[in-house]
Amino acid sequence: MYTVVIGVIGADVHAVGNKIIDHVLKEHGFNVVNIGVLSSQEDFINAAIETDAKAILVSSLYGHGELDCKYMKENMVEAGLSHVKLYVGGNIVVGKQDFTEVEERFKKMGFDRVYPPGTNIEHAVGDIKEDLADA
Amino acid sequence: MMIMNKKLSKEEFFKKREEIRSHWPTGADERLEFEKAVALLKSVPDSKNFAKKLRFAKEHDLTMIQPRAGVALVDQHIELMQFLEKHGKADFLPSTIDSYTRQNRYSHAEDAIKQSLKQKRSMLNGFPAVNHGIDGCHKVFENVNVPLQARHGTPDARLLSEIIHASGWTSNEGGGISYNIPYAKNISLEDTIRYWQYCDRLVGLYAEEGIELNREPFGPLTGTLVPPSISHTIAIIEAILAAEQGVKNITVGYGQCGNITQDVAALQTLDSLTNYYLKIFGYDDVFVTTVMHQWMGGFPSDEAEAMSLISLGATVATLGNATKIITKSPHESQGIPTKEANAEGLRASKLMTRMLKTQRYPSDDVLKAEKEMIEKEVKTLLYATLNIGKGDFAQGVIQAFKHGILDIPFAPSEMNHGKILPARDLRGNIRILEFGNLPFDDEIKRFHKDALEARGKAEGRPVSFKMTIDDIYAVSQGILVGNSEYKEPSL
Ligand code: B12
């Protein structure tokens, strides 16, 4: 059973997707540590350290994702979490933008996988299991 | 001091005001001196006064339209506002405030303004009105021809409210419950009710100077399967709290549910019940209007489908006689819309309000029954809140949320019980599956249970949380009642 940290980053209060991700990942047997909305990078990192998590799933719906996720990977490495997988999903930038470009920007920032708006979390479960099995 | 639903004294207000003006440098602007702000607001023409235009709309039985919109920089924001006025035919303009400002993180907003200048695109999801101060906000006011309103989601909007009104913006959205429970994690209701009493008192003080401003509690709450009786009860309580502080022009809101009859029943009762309870509790001279928000949950990503949903929203709002509609855009599921997409949502809505101008939803037994149920539930929730507050609505709200007598589905706030679960019945009406501690009697509970059991039977599955999840996704997938186990019959 893998431990994963989930939450919504920054000043974002979109709670519905977070509650559903929590429910679905538990159904799939994950040990889910949900830090909820309005969570900072440090909140994610501390939770991952405390629970020895294998992955962090960042949600960002409200558009400030690019600002809120800046240097997150660097901060994780500094905290000794370079082995922890880092995912992001939701409506992670402001406005309707070409997703391949957005994906590239976030991959450059160190995210392992980047999901477009409206991704059904069921579809991401397979990716996560695969990545963690390899790790 | 324990918070009560009681008008703040002038001394209390002006003492607090000094402190609030020191929260950010723009608060020191001398145009925030009360007499100066009064003079400016007195010079606002009726055509740019939100409260007066709403009176006009109601008198002439019109349904008016307003978008959501806001970007980081003043000049771009003005360009956006002018575009929506001209090409979207917006009757009212908003300025949607960014999320850093909403959490009072003004220095974050300052950084983002700099980033936006550098990157030449808005890095914020709204207009940072506090950082731009009266300089920026008044410039926006001067460059549009219709009334302006701040739309946000700010638990502590005291400085923001001061700045926007002193800049000539004649309406403010929000309230101590509706801008806390859906928008915060661990701010107490005691605090947010206090903050919003301040914002309402400010409007009340302007009223004493003969200036009518509009206030609008945020009706849709989490926008996710909220039963009408719950959002109505909260709207009515916020109207009462505002009226106590001297607010005279209030717009109560409701987020479209999707079943046309339930939506019309909700709009009609929102108007009648708010007027009724304001009078019952001693506020005789408040002018009430209603606003319907087009579908507030997850949208379909296909733009044609999104536009169709937008038109349905405009249709029910007009048939249900709402005074105003908050419109959505075909970009809703993806991100903050371009000004073009935003204007398209407006124009599609405007067409419906014009075509249906003389039509109203016919009254029949189904509509009547739906209205009676909403009335009964609201009465139950309202008096349970008043009772647990020992006759005081401010205390009542705090206690009611603590005990789950008021409970909002899917809210992020820890002040909320989060024990109730909604789900749709066969016709798409929003019903309640888990009641938590809602103080409903057996007759009400039976009504909801029967409706959901009928759905379960028709779908051949037990009534459960699975239905709720399916319903959350449904509209974005182009249906109203969700069923993940359903296979479309094929010829
Ligand atoms: C409901 C809603 C609200 C409600 C939220 C209630 C609450 N507290 O939860 C209310 C009305 C309060 C609200 C407020 C605001 N909202 Co809003 N909201 C929505 C809306 C309509 C639906 C969101 C939703 O609940 N969907 C249902 C859930 C189940 O889906 P989901 O959230 O997308 O999550 C799923 C997937 O994305 C995925 N997923 C999510 N995260 C991750 C992470 C990983 C790793 C993976 C694999 C998958 C994954 O899995 C989830 C479950 O399947 C969306 C637009 C839309 N989608 O149609 C806008 C939207 C997200 N909101 C938006 C904005 C901007 C705001 C506001 C700032 C107001 C404004 N300026 O208009 C405020 C936010 C205040 C704040 N501080 O955060 C914008 C964001 C714009 C952008 N990114 O460019 C959107 C896109 C609307 C728009 N087009 O403008 N909102």
Q: Which atom of ligand 1 is least distant from the CA of B99? A: 77
- B350 and B423 inside one domain: no
Is the Cβ of B170 closer than 8 Å to some Cβ of chain A? no
Q: Specify the number of domains making up chain B.
A: 2
Q: What is the pTM of this model?
A: 0.97
CA A94-B335-B67 angle, 5° bins: 110
Give the CATH number of the domain where residue B276 resides: 3.20.20.240
Q: What is the pLDDT of residue B353?
A: 98
Does the Cβ of B298 fall within 6 Å of ligand 1? Answer: yes
**Of the residues B321, B340, B355, the one at which a domain ends:** B355
Q: What is the pLDDT of residue A135?
A: 67
Q: What is the pLDDT of residue B484?
A: 85
Q: Which atom of ligand 1 is least distant from the CA of B97? A: 71
Could you tell which of B160, B181, B224 is best to mutate to test the pocket of ligand 1, judged by most ligand atoms within 8 Å of the CB? B224
Confidence of residue A27 (pLDDT cuts 50, 70, 90): very high
Average pLDDT estimate for B278-285: 98
Of the CA atoms within 13 Å of residue A62, those in its CB half-sphere come to 27
- B161 and B294 inside one domain: yes
Residue B94 lies in a domain: yes
Is the Cβ of B404 closer than 8 Å to some Cβ of chain A? no
Confidence of residue A1 (pLDDT cuts 50, 70, 90): confident
* A83 to chain B, closest Cα gap in Å: 30
Residue B164 lies in a domain: yes
* A112 to chain B, closest Cα gap in Å: 22
Classify residue B364 as exposed, middle or buried by CB count within 10 Å of its CB (0-12, 13-18, 19+): exposed
Q: Specify the number of domains making up chain A.
A: 1
Predicted confidence (pLDDT) at residue B128 exceeds the cutoff of 80: yes
Tokens at residue A19, please? Answer: 């509650």
Q: Report d(CA A3, CA A33) in Å as an integer.
A: 7
Could you tell which of A61, A85, A96 is best to mutate to test the pocket of ligand 1, judged by most ligand atoms within 8 Å of the CB? A61
Average pLDDT estimate for B245-265: 98
pLDDT tens-digit series, residues B298-348: 999 999 999 999 999 999 999 999 999 999 999 999 999 999 999 999 999
Residue B127 lies in a domain: yes
Q: What is the pLDDT of residue B488?
A: 78
Predicted confidence (pLDDT) at residue B490 exceeds the cutoff of 90: no
Q: Report d(CA B103, CA B105) in Å as an integer.
A: 5
Residue B381 lies in a domain: no
* A93 to chain B, closest Cα gap in Å: 8
Q: Report d(CA A99, CA B56) in Å as an integer.
A: 45
Q: What is the pLDDT of residue B486?
A: 78
Give the CATH number of the domain where residue A63 resides: 3.40.50.280
Confidence of residue B410 (pLDDT cuts 50, 70, 90): very high
Q: Which of B103, B122, B473 sits opposite A94 (nearest CB)?
A: B122
Percent of chain A with pLDDT over 70: 99
- B348 and B432 inside one domain: no
Write down the ipTM of this complex: 0.94
Residue B25 lies in a domain: yes
Give the CATH number of the domain where residue B461 resides: 3.90.970.10
Structural domain boundaries enclosing B424: 419-491
- B346 and B434 inside one domain: no
Tell which of B333, B344, B410, B467 to mutate to test the A interface (max A CBs under 10 Å): B410
Is the Cβ of B301 closer than 8 Å to some Cβ of chain A? yes
Nearest residue (CA) to ligand 1, atom 67: A62
Predicted confidence (pLDDT) at residue B162 exceeds the cutoff of 80: yes
- B300 and B443 inside one domain: no
- B228 and B307 inside one domain: yes
Is the Cβ of A26 closer than 8 Å to some Cβ of chain B? no
Q: What is the pLDDT of residue B388?
A: 98
pLDDT tens-digit series, residues B180-215: 999 999 999 999 999 999 999 999 999 999 999 999
Q: Report d(CA B299, CA B331) in Å as an integer.
A: 9
Structural domain boundaries enclosing A96: 3-134
**Of the residues B321, B355, B389, the one at which a domain ends:** B355
Residue B73 lies in a domain: yes
Average pLDDT estimate for A41-69: 97
In DSSP notation, B251-278 reads EEEEE--S-HHHHHHHHHHHHHHHHHHH
If you measure CA to CA, which chain B residue comes closest to A120? Answer: B473
Mean pLDDT of chain B: 97
Predicted confidence (pLDDT) at residue B489 exceeds the cutoff of 90: no
- DSSP 3-state percent helix, strand, coil across chain A (nearest 5): 45, 20, 40
Nearest to B102 by CA among B54, B152, B62, B61: B152
Tokens at residue B391, please? Answer: 């006759």
Percent of chain B with pLDDT over 90: 97
CA B327-B331-B334 angle, 5° bins: 125
Query: In this complex, do A62 and B123 lie within 8 Å of one another by their Cβ atoms?
Result: no
Give chain A's radius of gyration (CA, Å).
13
